[in-house]
Structure 1
Amino acid sequence: MVHQDADFVNETEFAKTRAELGAAFARILGYFREDGAKSIRAIEDAFRARNAAALVTPAHTLKGEAAQFGAYRLSGMAEEIEMVARRCVETHEGPEELIEIVVALKPCFAQTMALLDRDASPVVARRPATFGRRADTTVSSFGRAL
């Protein structure tokens, strides 16, 4: 399972995609959020039905869309599902061996989206204004600044 070693989001690829998409970036990221959720539901439904053939298309779609944003761990998981499902179709086997990766897919997608949203946000965390004075970082045992 090579995907476990992959970054959730490759910052270089993410920045490249963001620059290439320009003003359309937020809209395309929204499509990925919707399409990704649909693909995961389709994968889970196909797995529950033990339908290897029905796993292939949503896994393939998720693989490509995730890779576009540099979400290599999610893309790798989807690729593994796709490849195993294709083999299962060819050998007329059920996809039971995919249970761990299918169960891990939704949490990986959620974590990936959280990272993409964080990095895509136009709001940058800023230090509170101190109006020319140095902020006092001493805190009492009651959580109040001294």
Structure 2
Amino acid sequence: MSFEGNTLVDWTAFSKARAELGAGFVRILGYFREDGVKSVAAIEAAMRGGNAAALVIPAHTLKGEARQFGAEPLAALAEHIETIGRDCVEKQDTPDQALEHVVKLRPCFEATLSLLERESNPLKERRPVAGGFGRRAPGGFGRAG
């Protein structure tokens, strides 16, 4: 399963969160990583055990944290799992219909987290701007036209 970077993260929402969180952004992203790893593992364990109630809280947590960073596809997937879990608890049923969504969850989480961490890395490779400091603009400074 592959995911497209430009569809996994709403970069406008990501930038807004980064600006609002300021210096705490990297720390909060670290919490998202830690909580997300735990939530995905808990959801998978709940699914293996057929425990609908155990799906709800980790899916809810993952949903909220993903939305904070603009990771809407991950949030939507977690929300779907949460809804199925809640419905199954209400009906006293097993969460079998959540299986296809739970299978997609880990790869979606990992791909999303990779994008978020890459974008927030202060050492991220940036494309040089032509004519920027230390670079010659094509046909630029000191050359006749």
Range of TM-score over shorter length: 0.7 to 0.9
Task: Verify: 1:65 aligned to 2:69, yes or no.
Answer: no
**Counterpart Cα distance in 1 of 2:135 and 2:67:** 44
Equivalence for 1:117: 117
Say if 1:92 and 1:11 are closer, same or farther in 2 by CA, change over 3 A.
Answer: same
Task: Verify: 1:107 aligned to 2:107, yes or no.
Answer: yes
Equivalence for 1:93: 93
Q: Identity percentage over the alignment? A: 56
1:118 CA displacement? 1.6
Counterpart amino acid of residue 57 in structure 1: I
Q: Equivalences for 1:22-101 in 2 at 5 Å?
A: 22-101=22-101
1:126 CA displacement? 4.4
* Aligned residue pairs, count: 129
1:127 CA displacement? 5.7
Equivalence for 1:142: none
Q: With structure 2 as the length reference, what TM-score do the two structures score? A: 0.82
Equivalence for 1:8: 8
Counterpart amino acid of residue 70 in structure 1: G
* Cα distance per residue 1:35-89 (max 9 Å; x no partner): 0000000000011000001100000000000000000010000000000110001
1:122 CA displacement? 1.5
1:133 CA displacement? 9.6
Does the 8 A contact of 2:118 with 2:124 survive in 1? no
Q: With structure 1 as the length reference, what TM-score do the two structures score? A: 0.81
Q: Which segments of 5 or more consecutive residues in structure 2 lack a partner in the other structure?
A: 1-5, 139-145
CA-based RMSD: 2.1
Task: Verify: 1:21 aligned to 2:31, yes or no.
Answer: no
- Give the secondary-structure state (helix, strand or coil) at the position aligned to 2:93: coil
Does the 8 A contact of 2:66 with 2:75 survive in 1? yes
Say if 1:77 and 1:131 are closer, same or farther in 2 by CA, change over 3 A.
Answer: closer
